[in-house]
Amino acid sequence: MEQDELPQEMRSLKPEEREAYVAKKAAERETIQARIRQLSEERRHFVDKKEREMREADPNANTLDVIMLRTIREQLTARGLHFEK
């Protein structure tokens, strides 16, 4: 890679310093990605739990997924298509 193509903070570094800098940034990136995966998993569990609680409290609640499925079923039935629930 040409010197002028490098990020500003890497231009003054020696080649071995660049390698260390890239390794450090890669480690930081992996740490951040691991945290994102962890938070994503926690969020998924939280949302699943809340959806379960909502269904148990009111099985006929007008949530987005219920409304979408109801609308799709109505549209299919109007076109003469039938499906099992």
Mean pLDDT of 5-21: 92
* pLDDT tens string 47-79: 999 988 988 888 777 888 888 988 999 999 999
- What predicted TM-score, i.e. pTM, was given to this entire model? 0.61
Question: Alpha-carbon dihedral of residues 35, 37, 40, 46, nearest 10 degrees?
Answer: -90
For residue 70, what is the DSSP state?
Answer: H
